[in-house]
Amino acid sequence: MSDTSAATHLTAPAYTVAEAARLADLSPGRVRRWMRGYSFPVGDRLRRQRPVVRVGHDGHASHLASFLDLVDLLFVKRFLSTGVSLQRIRGALDEARSILGTDNFAREVFFFDGRNLFLQMQDQGNAILQLMTDGQWTIAPVIRELAEQIEFGGEAGSGPVGGFAQKWHPLGRDRPIVIDPRVAFGAPSLVGRGVKTANVYDLFVAENERVDAVCSWWDLSPVEVGRGALRAGTRGVRFFVDNNLSPGLARGMRAFGEDVIHLTEEFPADTEDAEWLARVGSRGWFVITRDDRIRYRSAELAAIRKSSVGAFFLGGKNRSRCDLIQQLVRNWPIIKEHAAKTRTPFAFRIPPAGSKLKSLPLD
């Protein structure tokens, strides 16, 4: 593939604000501000803040994000999670742009030592340049983990350094889902199949949620359907709140844009745990419950293992409704991170204080 054709599929406008927000797990408003910039009042006049992610390549403005822009959104999101300001992120990109002419963080040459952001200059004997040397960076290991979800290689356009992002494995490289701008118009698809995960999910619904029927129709494995396409088809990570927590909790989380449903929205309130655990696991959803006894009852434990359920248990006794809400919200970012990256089946205890989740045995 030539550099020109590589640049075309990597930088072509492909994702609306809503689509980019869904894939990157950001609010549409935040994506819009990062892509297009925004204005804010300063005294009696408006001040314009430029975008963080450069949208519109070769001098052509666009309201759509390219694949490289999408990956940049992921990196900016992770930078912010470590406490790095948008101002400093803009400064680092400006500095890199003046050296390489690149508009993207989606490059293999950006890497981290746990504290500083560096840029590797291949055309200068692999010399290492530290960016933003006047600032104190605190880059967490989670940044490196994001880079491990991305396949780099080749070049996109001219410049001394290649290694642009080529593919993104949003659930990790051991899962059968990939976002490849050359396949399915950049939509999430099954690795090596070219089938959109959304299409697999639609067929799953049409076939009355029968995984075997979907497998037969497209010659897919149960793993590809159950642990891959269904999770992506339900718009990423979906959480299922057990009946020992209030339906209002699920509604409140949804009001803030989170994909959370309550047991009573899918099943009768008296449904046996083993039954709903099996259904929830087959759909690739994640359980949030207070019922720690589930792990010790043979039928429920068998359902967790067989259906590959990921479960989060709210720890602590005599917790008020307000306590439980605070406990869940405080740990929500790390809960979502574990759900997206940890191989199922699993169980984690959400602590009543602090923010370190404890892995629980399932034997």
| pLDDT reported for residue 123 | 44
Residues 166, 108: Cα–Cα separation, whole Å: 10
Amino acid at residue number 325: I
| pLDDT reported for residue 137 | 40
Lowest-pLDDT choice from 10-24, 164-178, 215-229: 215-229
String of b and e for 70-94 (b: at least 16 CB within 10 Å)? Answer: bbbbbbbbbbeeeebeeebbeebbe
Convert the pLDDT of each residue in 62-109 to its tens digit.
Answer: 678 889 889 889 888 877 776 777 877 777 677 666 666 666 767 665
Asked whether 324 and 312 are in contact (CB, 8 A), the reply is no
Categorize the per-residue pLDDT at 9 as very low, low, confident or very high, splitting at 50, 70 and 90. confident
For residue 58, pLDDT over 60 is answered with no
User: Angle between the 3-11 and 67-81 helix axes, to the nearest 10 degrees?
Assistant: 60
| pLDDT reported for residue 286 | 93
Query: Looking at residues 30-42, what average pLDDT do you find?
Result: 85
Residues 265, 344: Cα–Cα separation, whole Å: 24
Residues 191, 96: Cα–Cα separation, whole Å: 33
What percent of the chain has pLDDT above 90? 10
Tell me which H or E stretch contains 168. Answer: strand 165-168
For residue 224, pLDDT over 90 is answered with no
Asked whether 189 and 196 are in contact (CB, 8 A), the reply is yes
pTM above 0.85, yes or no: no
| pLDDT reported for residue 121 | 44
Phi and psi at residue 114, to the nearest 5°: 95, -10
